[in-house]
A and B are shown apart, each in its own frame.
Chain A
């Protein structure tokens, strides 16, 4: 009986492990396939032979994209969008979360309710557009940065982290005559690195992937973000683009190869920070689920 039970339990675990491995493989296979395609020769791509490993290894698709330059301009724009956007986000999120983490603050309850309400009911796309338009911000990055200064969810994550810090630290600082700005900068923020890391990464990934708002607010082609440019390229890999690469023989390039290379370049920075990201985001998500 005992033996039979443990054997069936062993079988269960074996099947379970295998099943999950299949799920994980199915999740990442498309990405691996894409990388393989981006480095493969055109004949193998057209014949559908490429699975996980490049066939007729070459870097023509990347050379073509770099010579063409459009994607690089869009990438430069997106870096600007991401760096400035994330800095503004963090500054405003901290400025909102720190005072609101103080139970002694008068009017705190009302302010929290007012902030929460904006999560449940918001002005729609068009009223937002008309507001940004009337402020004269259309076609500037401020049209993207300003309306998204604080994510309410992230603000609550940060607030619950601050609430978890021991209050004695601040009391001793107050006795030493430090005001709240000094306390925040010198004592609170250095202790809050885990949540700062998590939220910085959440915001940055959001900016890197920004698409809809760019579509709505940005008009000039030279200001387009990476994702909008990528969408246009995927929609239509122009014949001119295929010819623009110097020293690259036309026959070695296919639209599929170009698309794959463009996607790999666009996803690369996120994958580069992913090992860093995975340490922190679980904590960030769980902090947010603690009711504040």
Chain B
């Protein structure tokens, strides 16, 4: 009680924040109950009829659900395999640049796309890959190759998706790795040098172990997003020709829920997504910890 009186101003500051979290972060969790109901706007959340797991039964017998789930997981696996290591390699290369002014200039150029929205980047990607006027196909033509319809081809669309993601985020992703590398004890490098270790061996035995824990944390965060492919990137890049590989959970929820008003069905899908994501992030966190690294918590 005494501490409450002493810190009353601090609690007063927290009051609006607490109301915000309760209303906009916790109340929607209760809204998830409509996944077990047949929601009708007129009846409201509590007045609508309970239907048990009917929505989930519908979900799991919907063929489109499996397509969307597969696309979501596949695009994330591609990102994990092809995009996740890029900032590490980029940071290793940047770390070897001797002249710090040149390095800073490079970094500032590489960070730029991070601050630009997907609407802009997506339209630029589509323009660059256009079979008639795009620069990429112009180069292919010069090389005597047939133009490729990148954005309308079910093989090339995921490739373009992953590469455009690298374009936007790889540079910015180097920040944490560069900081971790700057924190490595320089005497380790000198000791390795005296022992006659080549540059590659020094990178392998000193630099990489030095950024291991950073990579571990970022890996957990990435797996936590496994069920969630960002809406805006897919929405701005996709087109009807590639829906079969491009429709992901978030765009599907938007399509069924917001555009077609199937609130209960899309909430069931959203709830399934959140639950699997939670299990994944907790699981990977535990796995990382058993490997001897610090987890997220």
- Chain B min CB distance to A248 (Å): 22
Interface flag for A55 (CB, 8 Å):
no
* Cα of A100 to Cα of B133 in the assembled complex, Å: 55
With beta carbons under 8 angstroms apart, the residue of B96, B199, B232, B267 that contacts A212 is B232
Encode B109-145 as 1/0 by CB contact (under 8 A) with A.
1111101111110011001100001010010000000
Give Cα A105–Cα B3 distance, bound, in whole angstroms: 8
Q: Are B274 and A122 in contact (CB under 8 A)?
A: yes
The minimal Cβ–Cβ distance linking B249 to chain A, given in whole angstroms, is: 10
Expressed in whole angstroms, the Cα–Cα distance for A147 and B29 within the complex equals 14
Asked if residues A114 and B90 are in contact (CB atoms below 8 Å), the reply is no
Residue A191 lies at the interface, judged by CB distance under 8 Å to chain B: no
Residue A111, interface by CB 8 Å:
yes
Q: How far is the CA of A111 from the CA of B113 in the complex (A)?
A: 35
Q: Give the contacts of B212-230 with A (CB-CB under 8 A).
A: 214, 217, 224
Given the interface pairs A24-B109, A28-B109, A114-B21, the reply to whether A127 lies near B120 with Cβ below 8 Å is no
| In contact, B297 and A116 (Cβ under 8 angstroms) | yes
What residues on B are CB-neighbors of A243 within 8 Å? none
Task: For B4, give the chain A residue with the smallest CB separation.
Answer: A106
Q: State which residues 69-97 of A face B: CB under 8 Å.
A: 92, 95-96
Residue of B nearest to A229 (CB): B119
Question: Do residues B258 and A129 form an inter-chain contact, with CB atoms below 8 A?
Answer: yes
Q: Is B16 on the interface with A (CB-CB < 8 A)?
A: yes
Quick one: closest B residue to A234, CB to CB? Answer: B123
B175 beta carbon closer than 8 Å to chain A: yes
Residues from chain A with Cβ under 8 Å of B266 in the complex = 124-126
Give the size of the chain A interface in residues (CB under 8 angstroms): 80
B24 engages A130 (CB within 8 Å): no
Interface digits, A268-292 against B, CB 8 Å rule (1 contact, 0 not)? 0010001001100110011001000
**Residues in A neighbouring B281, C-beta threshold 8 A:** 120
**Whole-angstrom CA separation of A115 from B20 in the bound complex:** 11
Q: Are the C-beta atoms of A105 and B7 separated by less than 8 Å?
A: yes
List of A residues within 8 angstroms of B250 by Cβ: 125
Is A198 an interface position by the 8 A CB rule? no
* Count of B interface residues, CB-CB < 8 Å: 84
Could you tell me the distance in whole angstroms from the C-beta of A135 to the nearest C-beta in chain B? 9
- Is B97 at the interface (CB under 8 A from chain A)? yes
Minimal beta-carbon separation of A261 from chain B (angstroms): 13
* Interchain CB contact under 8 A, A150 and B20: yes
Interface mask (A104-124 → B, CB under 8 Å = 1, otherwise 0): 111000010011101011111
Q: Tell me the smallest distance from the CB of B221 to a CB of chain A, in Å.
A: 10
Tell me the chain B residues, 6-28 only, with Cβ under 8 Å from chain A: 7, 9-11, 13-14, 16-18, 20-21, 23-28
Q: Is there a chain B Cβ closer than 8 Å to A66's Cβ?
A: no
A147 to B31 CA separation, bound complex (whole angstroms): 15
Residue pair B123, A259 in contact (C-beta under 8 Å):
yes
Q: Tell me if A95 and B14 are in contact (CB < 8 A).
A: yes
B254 located at the interface, meaning its Cβ lies under 8 Å from any Cβ of chain A in the complex:
yes
User: Does B106 lie within 8 Å of A34, measured CB to CB?
Assistant: no
A146 CA to B236 CA, complexed, in Å: 25
CA distance A111 to B7 in the complex (A): 15
Residues in chain B near residue A277, CB distance under 8 A? 115
Given the interface contacts A209-B117, A212-B231, A286-B179, does A131 sit within 8 Å of B24 by beta carbon? yes
Cβ of A211 within 8 Å of any chain B Cβ, yes or no, is yes
A23-B110, A125-B270, A285-B176 known; A267-B28 Cβ under 8 A: no
B81 an interface residue at 8 Å Cβ cutoff? Answer: no
Closest Cβ of chain A to B33, distance in Å, is 9
Chain B residues closer than 8 Å to A28, beta-carbon distance: 109, 112
Min CB distance A156 to B, Å, is 12
A9 CB–B CB distance under 8 Å: yes
In the complex, what distance in Å separates the CA atom of A212 from the CA atom of B235? 9
Q: A131 with B179: in contact, given A99-B14, A278-B111 (CB under 8 Å)?
A: no
Minimum Cβ distance to chain B for residue A5 (Å): 9
Chain A, range 113-163, C-beta contacts under 8 Å to B: 114-116, 118, 120-131, 134, 146-147, 149-150
Q: Smallest CB-CB separation from A128: which chain B residue?
A: B28
Closest 6 CB pairs of A and B: A123-B28, A124-B270, A127-B31, A209-B117, A99-B10, A127-B28
7 A-B residue pairings within 8 Å (CB atoms): A13-B97, A28-B112, A118-B25, A124-B274, A125-B250, A126-B31, A270-B115
In addition to A122-B29, A234-B119, 4 A-B residue pairs with Cβ atoms within 8 Å of each other are A17-B97, A120-B224, A179-B9, A216-B254
